[in-house]
Amino acid sequence: MANRLGHSLTVTSFGESHGPMVGVVIDGFPAGFQIDEAAVQAALDRRRPGQSDLSSSRNESDRFEVLSGIFEGLTTGAPIAIVVPNKDQKSADYDALKTIYRPGHADQVYAEKYGHRDHRGGGRSSARVTAAWVAAGDIARQYLHKAHAVTIQSVVSKVGTLGVGNVFELDWTEAENNPLRCPDAQTAVSMGDLIRQTAESGDSLGGIISTRIRNCPAGLGEPLFDKLNADLAKAMFSINAVKGLEFGSGFAGTERKGSENNDEAGSGRNNDGGITGGISNGRDIIFNTAFKPVSSIAAEQMAFTIVGDIVPLQIKGRHDPCVLPRAVPIIEAMSALVLADHLLLNLKYKK
C-alpha cells in the first residue's frame, strides 16, 4: 500500500478511522527550525468535527502528540513523528456494514484489492486519516511562511449550485469569520441554509474549494514528470471525495483563443494559474478543487452485499452533510507539503 508523499520532504501516513490513532512521519525536514505547536493545534481545530451544525457530530478533540523529531521547540533533523488519538469512535454504528458495501465509498474496491477490510468507518480509506496530514501540513506551512514568506489560503467558493463569482478577485480576509469559510458573508448564509435543508432530507452536497498561494518563488517544479501542478494534483486527489482540479483559467480556457488565454507580457493575466510548463512563474498560484457530495447519506439507497445481492441501505452514524468547510484546512495542508517539498528539492539545483 502506498502511504508516502513527497521527494525531498516525505510524509508517511498511518492509522485507521476506528483504530487507536492516526499519524504521520515527516522525514527530510531541516534541523534547527522553531515549531509553533499552538499553531499546529489551531490548524487541527479548523479541521476537527463538531465545529458547527454543518459538520459531523463526532466529538474528537484532535489533540496531537509529537513522538520524535522536535526537542525544546526546535526540529532536530530526525524524523518528526506525530499522532492524533481517536477518542470518540462508535464502531457499533458500522456493525451492519460488515457484509454490505456502501455506494460511493471504497468498501468494495478495497475488498477486491486486498481481500480483507476494516468496515468501521472505512478504516484506512477514511477521511479521518487527514487529521494527521493537517498537522504535518502546518509544520510545512510554518517553514514556507517564516523562511520564504509564502502564504496559502483556501476558501469555499461553491456549494451545490450556489457559488461566488470571480472568487479570486475578492478579499478573502472574512472567510474564517463564518462556518462555511466562504469569502462572501451573504453567500455563506445561503450556503448554510442549503446544507441544512439538504441534510434534513437525508442527503448531502458537494462543491468547490478555491486556493490561492502567494509569494511562491519562481522555479519550483520540474519540466516533465514532477511538474509542480502535477504534484499538487496528486496531493489534492489523495483527499477523499475530490473529483476534479483546475489551475488558472482551467476548463474555461478551452473556450478561448490562444491570444485570449496566453499570459501576454504586460497583460496582467494569470490564466496559467502561477505555473507554466510545470514550473512556478512567480505569480499567485490559483486553483479550484471539486468535491463530490458526501457518500454517507441517511436516505435509502440500494447497495451490494459481499455475496453480490442488492439490498436497501440506510447509513447510520455521524457524517458531514457537506465536507467542504472542514476540507479547507486539508487543502491548505497538502498544498504546503508539496511546496515545501519542492523548495527543498530545488536546493540541489542552485547554490
Query: In which residue are the cell numbers 500500500 written?
Result: 1
Query: Is there a domain that residue 351 lies in?
Result: no
What residues in the chain have per-residue pLDDT under 50? none
User: What is the pLDDT at residue 35?
Assistant: 97
Collect all residues with Cβ–Cβ distance below 8 Å to 257 and sequence separation of at least 6.
none
User: What is the pLDDT at residue 120?
Assistant: 78
Query: Is there a domain that residue 38 lies in?
Result: yes
Alpha carbon of 56 to those of 47, 74, 128, 163, 212: distances in Å?
11, 35, 12, 23, 27
Nearest to 308 by CA among 154, 69, 153, 112: 112
Query: Is there a domain that residue 322 lies in?
Result: yes
Query: Is there a domain that residue 158 lies in?
Result: yes
Tell me which residue range forms the domain holding 225: 4-346
User: What is the pLDDT at residue 61?
Assistant: 79
User: What is the pLDDT at residue 10?
Assistant: 98
User: What is the pLDDT at residue 36?
Assistant: 97
Q: CATH no. for residue 287?
A: 3.60.150.10
Query: Is there a domain that residue 265 lies in?
Result: yes
Query: Is there a domain that residue 90 lies in?
Result: yes
User: Could you tell me where the DSSP H helices lie in the chain?
Assistant: 37-47, 107-114, 130-148, 185-200, 228-237, 258-261, 324-346
The count of domains in the chain is 1
Q: What is the pLDDT of residues 187-210, one digit of tens each?
A: 999 999 999 999 999 999 999 999
Query: Is there a domain that residue 248 lies in?
Result: yes
Alpha carbon of 339 to those of 6, 24, 29, 273: distances in Å?
10, 18, 13, 15
Mean pLDDT score of the chain: 92
Nearest to 209 by CA among 326, 52, 129, 46: 326
| pTM (2 d.p.) | 0.93
User: What is the pLDDT at residue 345?
Assistant: 93
Query: Is there a domain that residue 266 lies in?
Result: yes
Query: In which residue are the cell numbers 445561503 written?
Result: 190
User: What is the pLDDT at residue 315?
Assistant: 81
